[in-house]
Structure 1
């Protein structure tokens, strides 16, 4: 079973408008709302690719009920812990740029975190556990490390998509998959990555920390997959960028869905790249048909050192 963890889920409220004027009344052209959070995004795309998962985390209040009911209707299994307070609402405004207004979310108590750790302690070596996103300020700063330690002891495969301060302490547990974008990879080493060659160099350094698979997304420049001593490059299909929200999560889901079906690693990378790109070309997360329509446009090439 694939489990996804979203520690601070949200209701994401997306508004499209011609322009956003500070201090003025602004009216939207269209609106949409759905559950948000990186782990939740992974579970939703997995469901659309006919791959089962269970979404874990914390929800509370009327927004928490909306999140669970929405996912239930989509066929996503959930085991969220109910907490005091109300799950947050995040507002995303799309004009010619993206503006995000993110709330803090509810306070997570110690007994709530202990319940989640107990769930992880019941997992086995046949399970995959996806950690994605930030840790709420009310939780211990080392909570990713706590989860990783328990999962590692159980032989669970760890998938992590998080910033440096959360990622660095868990490298000792040898994650199965990491998925930074090129900006996050650069931040990890205190450099600015501007080319595929730069990403290859620093991607190999991160892989050497004990990571099994590493995917580095580079927006319109494509993506890279690192595994052992091999590096693969996927091009970025041509299309119109609508929103980057959820694109990285979709890439993780596409890759894991293919891996769970025992597809060759190159094909798993193709599915990941297609899912990530399809979401970037969509308002909200991509559907299965959008993803499949891009598969033939993605070429996977192994990069050989000369």
Structure 2
């Protein structure tokens, strides 16, 4: 089974308007609601690709209940912890030629509530996959990802980490199966500018030297790079299409990669599937569907 963890789930309220005018009443042309957070995005795309997973994390208040109900209606298994205080966040995404985002803060997680998550994670079995995705609320210990992975070291599970900065760098000593920083995040980790594919490969390998087994670097419109634990290096371009949505493309890449790799154990095919899934999300208003991914696979 695949388990995803989202520490700060959200309702994404997306509105489209011709122009956002400050200090005035604005009316939108259309609107949509999505249930998000990086781990939830991974679970959603996995479901769209026919792969089951369990979405873990924290929800609170009426918005948290809406997130849980929405995911269950979509056929996604959930096992959230309901917090006693606060509400799950609402992120407002305004699309008016340019994208403007107002992201909510989210509820505070108490120490006892965090312990409940560790208890749930203790039931993960050998052979399972754990996806830790996204930043963590400021109220949580900065080493929570490390603590989670350390608590599961005796189990033979594959851990995927999609995070930034020290949150990612500090877990490398536990040899995660896959990490997926983007080009900018890779440069920030090493405080350097990455100007060429060669630069990206060089610094991706440095992440391997620090402990990562497989390193997947997304490069937006320039494609992606994969450095595998078997010593293979792959680069891939992107599918052709019009970008409509920047939210969830990286999470979709992780989901597509896992869906393919767990089935075929082929890194090159997994990279292609991940790229198609990421592009399918970027080219649509919502997250990647199986039909869209299959169409794009033919063009990559």
Residue of structure 2 equivalent to 1:193:
194
Residue of structure 2 equivalent to 1:301:
none
CA contact (8 A) 1:151 1:157 kept: no
**CA drift at 1:194:** 2.9
Residue of structure 1 equivalent to 2:20:
20
Local SS of the residue matching 1:297? coil
Aligned ranges 1:56-205 → 2 under 5 Å: 56-84=56-84, 85-205=86-206
Q: Deviations over 1:69-97 (max 9, x none)?
A: 11111110000001022111011111222
Which runs of 4 or more aligned residues in structure 1 lie more than 4 Å from their structure 2 counterparts after TM superposition? none
**CA drift at 1:165:** 2.0
TM-score, with structure 1 as normaliser:
0.95
User: What is the CA–CA distance in structure 1 between the aligned matches of 2:265 and 2:150, rounded to whole Å?
Assistant: 29
CA-based RMSD:
1.1
**CA drift at 1:283:** 0.5
**Structure 2: gaps (5+ residues):** none
**Structure 1: gaps (5+ residues):** 299-306
**CA drift at 1:263:** 4.3
CA contact (8 A) 1:151 1:158 kept: no
Q: Deviations over 1:84-133 (max 9, x none)?
A: 22111011111222211011111111111001111112212211100011
Local SS of the residue matching 1:8? coil
Instruction: Tell me, yes or no, if structure 1 residue 230 matches structure 2 residue 232.
Output: yes
**CA drift at 1:278:** 0.6
User: What is the CA–CA distance in structure 1 between the aligned matches of 2:114 and 2:44, rounded to whole Å?
Assistant: 23
Q: Deviations over 1:241-266 (max 9, x none)?
A: 11110000000000011122124221
User: What is the CA–CA distance in structure 2 between the aligned matches of 1:7 and 1:288, rounded to whole Å?
Assistant: 27
Instruction: Tell me, yes or no, if structure 1 residue 8 matches structure 2 residue 19.
Output: no
Q: Deviations over 1:256-305 (max 9, x none)?
A: 1112212422111111000001100110112111111000211xxxxxxx
Residue of structure 2 equivalent to 1:297:
299
How many residues were matched structurally?
A: 298
User: What is the CA–CA distance in structure 2 between the aligned matches of 1:153 and 1:275, rounded to whole Å?
Assistant: 32
Local SS of the residue matching 2:159? strand
Local SS of the residue matching 2:264? coil
Which stretch of structure 1 is more off in the superposition, 62-71 or 153-162?
153-162
Candidates 273, 276, 279, aligned match of 2:278: 276
